[in-house]
Structure 1
Amino acid sequence: MQTPPSTATPSWTVGDITVHRIDEIPLPPATGPWLLPGATTDVISQHDWLRPDFADHEGTLHLDSHSFAFFVGGVRVLVDTGIGNGKERANPAWHNLQTDFPARLAAAGYSPDSVDLVILTHLHADHVGWNTREANGEWVPTFSNARYLTSRTEREFWASYDMEEPRKQMFRDSVIPVEEAGLLDLIDVPEGGVEIAPGLRLIPTPGHTPGHLAVELTSRGQTALITGDCLHHPVQLAQPTISACVDIDPAQSTASRRKLLASLADTTTLLLGTHFAPPTAGHVITQGNTYRLSPVPAEPR
């Protein structure tokens, strides 16, 4: 059983909302050089604030796979569903995992059958894996009482995309079963975003994928934003031009990062990184011509 090192549920308070981080696994050290080739050891060494939480002293990036769960507007929400168990994946770090993610979700008070809404920031393998679980040799929706939600632009892009076999497999085991169960809703997200429940907005952040979304929470004058893969790692605050090797449109992903960071800089908005290693969250602070993250540690609950 592959598990993160802690069994506590890290959480942050945003007004009346408690945001829980549901850990799946820390990603292996080789993830950083593959995913963010522009984040070289020389680049990392220029930013002391990355160490020791977000990078080690040798320049290795720390990255995680986790989801976020919260209750807002009368709705129990899960944002992204990680890599999943028993999935056939080309990436060795993701292949045939066996973690206790559902137990961690339940320990935070969000058993799979209690979740009302699953928001998918985009349709990549490490964000949709727990959409389904294996039952009697078939892949069935894990959150059978929930609606699953993603951008219409996102789903329509992949519907016409010439997929390689590993991506086809991911859709077969983690997306299509949800569609066939009638649980997937597609939503149009205008440039200014769209509110889908009181205090819950979807913000378009295209580039990593064409329909990529960030998720904004607001309660009692406080705000948080869940990044999805618009930002993979805090080093991209310091150098927003660093793009992921799997970005569909690197120029657009850079533009989305710049726009998002400019909107958050020197505000009280809490940034929650979907792949940020602990402490995972923080405030965006202007530093010269770019930014740094001022960490806000979680409180175990």
Structure 2
Amino acid sequence: MDTIELGNVTVSRVREYYGPLGLAPRAFVPESSESVWAEESAWLRPEFVNGEPPVANAALQTWVLRSEGRTILVDTGGGNHKARPGMPWDRLETDFLGNLARAGVRPEDVDLVVNTHLHADHVGWNTRLDGEDWVPTFPNATYLIHRDDFDFWNPANGHASVLGDGNAQAFADSVAPVHEAGRTLLWEGADHRIDANLTLNLAAGHTPGSSVLTLASGTDRAVFVGDLLHSPVQILEPDANSCFCEDAVQARAARRRVLGWAADHNGLVVPAHFGGHGAAEVVREDGGFALKGWAPFTSYTPGDEV
């Protein structure tokens, strides 16, 4: 099952890529303890860690929400034909649009695209190649981007990043074309209401404009956290940042705040990159958090077709 109902919102998982990230677990989450990877190995393998020596796995996937008659995409993965030197999704050639179609969504059906932040693996399908030009993949959609992220990643502003030039191409091929086409809405401040069920909330730290999408419909709650979580070990050790966070202090605070909300509201935590079942419920435990259970999405592990 790759579709669930949360109140009046339908949530579908559409896969693009799944495989090794090319980083050892503690290179991926350098602030995590050695012991957590060893003690939790029985359930971290093979979905989140695999091989010897161990390597962290990552999924690229888009969450499709249908709410109040509109079709909304949360993050758009890596995209095809995009130069991403040194990354596993360099010049991908996947059937993502076919997978999207099998979920009942044509590009022209999409009303909103939420980019939780502007890293290359979250904006790739914002655009597609048309001849030699990058054009909006979803021609009728409004692309929601926090202005702080747009300004930070705009090369004209000259901001330095912990990624060095590792995100250099993403703005040019996946963000600027939709902005120039007049398809972006650069929201500002702490919150942006989408509809009665969905709200965007600023959760800066991973990037200056990182946001989470909060779902509250009927008695159901969920939060689509983007890259606040790269690995489930960050649920167990919420102060452990990944190697990709721009502001370590803000990232820790945002992670604790969002996980606390999910635990207190019995909300499903839906990260961008989890393999396995893709999302989980959490509870408070010993000043931190623990896994309560996995979402009912179909699990996928190394070797599964994407």
1:46 pairs with one of 39, 46, 71: 39
**1:295 maps to 2:294:** yes
SS for the counterpart of 1:45 is helix
- Of the structure 1 ranges 220-229 and 113-122, higher mean CA displacement relative to structure 2 is found in 220-229
2:148 pairs with one of 146, 153, 157: 153
Match of 1:113 in 2: 108
Aligned-partner residue type, residue 295 of structure 1: W
Match of 2:202 in 1: 204
Aligned-partner residue type, residue 13 of structure 1: E
CA–CA distance in 2 between the matches of 1:40 and 1:46? 10
- Of the structure 1 ranges 53-62 and 199-208, higher mean CA displacement relative to structure 2 is found in 53-62
1:134 pairs with one of 124, 129, 135: 129
SS for the counterpart of 1:93 is coil
- The aligned runs of 1:1-301 (5 Å cut-off) are 10-31=2-23, 32-39=25-32, 41-47=34-40, 50-52=43-45, 53-56=47-50, 60-159=55-154, 160-162=157-159, 166-190=166-190, 193-293=191-291, 294-298=293-297
SS for the counterpart of 1:128 is helix
SS for the counterpart of 1:223 is strand
Aligned-partner residue type, residue 162 of structure 1: H
SS for the counterpart of 2:167 is helix
- Alpha carbons of structure 1 residues 91 and 119: separation in structure 2 relative to 1, 3 Å: same
- What per-residue deviation string (whole Å, max 9, x for no partner) do you get for residues 151-190 of structure 1? 1121122232336655332211111111111111101132
Is the contact made by 1:72 and 1:199 (CA closer than 8 Å) also made in structure 2?
Answer: yes
Is the contact made by 1:83 and 1:125 (CA closer than 8 Å) also made in structure 2?
Answer: yes
SS for the counterpart of 2:71 is strand
SS for the counterpart of 1:232 is coil
SS for the counterpart of 1:61 is strand
Match of 2:303 in 1: none
RMSD between aligned residues:
2.1
Is the contact made by 2:9 and 2:197 (CA closer than 8 Å) also made in structure 1?
Answer: no
What residue ranges of structure 1 are gaps of 5+ in the alignment? 1-8
CA–CA distance in 1 between the matches of 2:248 and 2:103? 36
Give the share of equivalent positions with the same residue, in percent: 36
- Alpha carbons of structure 1 residues 11 and 189: separation in structure 2 relative to 1, 3 Å: farther
Aligned-partner residue type, residue 10 of structure 1: D
SS for the counterpart of 2:226 is coil
CA–CA distance in 2 between the matches of 1:218 and 1:265? 14
- Of the structure 1 ranges 139-148 and 83-92, higher mean CA displacement relative to structure 2 is found in 83-92
Question: How much has 1:63 moved relative to structure 2?
Answer: 2.2
Is the contact made by 1:86 and 1:97 (CA closer than 8 Å) also made in structure 2?
Answer: yes
Q: TM-score, normalised by structure 2?
A: 0.88
SS for the counterpart of 1:27 is strand
What residue ranges of structure 2 are gaps of 5+ in the alignment? 300-306
CA–CA distance in 2 between the matches of 1:40 and 1:95? 30
SS for the counterpart of 1:129 is helix
Question: How much has 1:230 moved relative to structure 2?
Answer: 1.2
Aligned length: 290
- Alpha carbons of structure 1 residues 56 and 237: separation in structure 2 relative to 1, 3 Å: same
